[in-house]
Copies of this chain bind each other. A is one copy, B any other.
Amino acid sequence: MNSIRSLSAMAAWSRRLHREGVTIGFVPTMGALHAGHRALIRAARLACDAVVVSIFVNPTQFGPREDLAKYPRQLRLDRALCRAEAVDVIFAPENHSMYPPGNQTIVMVPQVARRWEGEARPHHFQGVATVVTKLLCLVQPDVSWFGQKDYQQAALVRQLMKDLNLPGQMMIYPTVREADGLALSSRNVYLSPVHRLAAPVLYRALQAGAAAVRAGERRGAEIRRCMIRVIKREPSATLDYVAVCDHLTLEPIARIERKALLLGALQIGGVRLIDNMLVQVHG
């Protein structure tokens, strides 16, 4: 397994492989890899000749009062997981080469970024859009994988790649969950044992919303109420938002016609959790 830190070495590696007709699969991450990342890597491994995993805790997508400093960093463990999954390249650039002095360019996807996480975390998505543009230009993948757990991020990247004609195809991989339904996230390590037990409440709320849809409910407001009711029963949870949205634009919808996205965020013991679920109406 190759470990690349320099931007120009990364670009040169990709150019060389493309010249040889090799296809490149790409999984961008902030490290602290878990079984969710592993599923993305395996999907890339199956679809492409070579697999690149980037590990970069991108400072520009963290707000000033967020967890940049304490975000879990475990490069040695990450390396072991990548080696076990036959990753070809770990691309782990330094902050100062990704953002040298004088750098100033910003990429924005204003409509997709407007609500939900964009409201809760100002500037978060412009940090994401900018770093993803940089990474895709450097790695030049044929296919990139993103996790459905960060649904709004994936929707934003999809729009970004289309709008800027960024290289390659984009795939969204279904959320990987713990046995009790909690969506895997690098931030789950922040949960105390008691809060870890309470954390699946968000998944259960989404399930309650999906059950209401299956039972025939089409009204967005009613489905939201079902989800909120579940969360309200968990005293350690503070609701941030739950929503019934269009799965492409992420705008709230009053009535489900065919497909919709149930979306939620809450805090438990100071840890912010997000999750989502796609629902479909038949007939």
- Of the candidates B105, B109, B129, the one whose C-beta lies within 8 Å of that of A163 is B105
A238 at the interface (CB under 8 A from B): no
The closest CB in chain B to the CB of A21 belongs to B19
Q: Which residues of B contact A134 (CB under 8 A)?
A: 163-165
A4 at the interface (CB under 8 A from B): no
Given contacts A137-B167, A164-B133, contact A112 B104 (CB under 8 A): yes
Q: Report yes or no: B109 in contact with A129, Cβ–Cβ below 8 A.
A: no
Given contacts A133-B164, A165-B134, contact A108 B106 (CB under 8 A): yes
A42 at the interface (CB under 8 A from B): no
Cα separation A55 to B261 with both chains bound (whole Å): 41
Q: Report yes or no: A159 in contact with B19, Cβ–Cβ below 8 A.
A: no
Q: Which residues of B contact A192 (CB under 8 A)?
A: none
Q: Report yes or no: A107 in contact with B109, Cβ–Cβ below 8 A.
A: no
Q: How far is the CB of A134 from chain B (nearest CB, A)?
A: 5
Q: Which residues of B contact A111 (CB under 8 A)?
A: 104
Q: Which A residues from 140 to 192 make CB contacts under 8 A with B?
A: 140, 159-160, 162-167
A110 at the interface (CB under 8 A from B): yes
The closest CB in chain B to the CB of A166 belongs to B137
A18 at the interface (CB under 8 A from B): yes
Cα separation A111 to B105 with both chains bound (whole Å): 9
Cα separation A166 to B137 with both chains bound (whole Å): 6
Q: Report yes or no: A105 in contact with B104, Cβ–Cβ below 8 A.
A: no
Q: Which A residues from 77 to 134 make CB contacts under 8 A with B?
A: 102-112, 129-130, 133-134
Q: Which residues of B contact A18 (CB under 8 A)?
A: 15, 18-19
Q: Which residues of B contact A11 (CB under 8 A)?
A: 165, 167
Q: How far is the CB of A28 from chain B (nearest CB, A)?
A: 14
A138 at the interface (CB under 8 A from B): yes
Cα separation A7 to B108 with both chains bound (whole Å): 22
Q: How far is the CB of A238 from chain B (nearest CB, A)?
A: 32
Cα separation A108 to B165 with both chains bound (whole Å): 16
The closest CB in chain B to the CB of A156 belongs to B105
Q: Report yes or no: B105 in contact with A108, Cβ–Cβ below 8 A.
A: yes
Q: How far is the CB of A26 from chain B (nearest CB, A)?
A: 14
- Of the candidates B7, B15, B102, B159, the one whose C-beta lies within 8 Å of that of A104 is B159
Q: Please report A residues at the B interface, Cβ cutoff 8 Å.
A: 7, 11, 15, 18-19, 21, 102-112, 129-130, 133-134, 137-138, 140, 159-160, 162-167, 249
- Sorted nearest first, the 5 A-B pairs with minimum C-beta distance are A105-B163, A137-B165, A103-B163, A104-B111, A138-B165
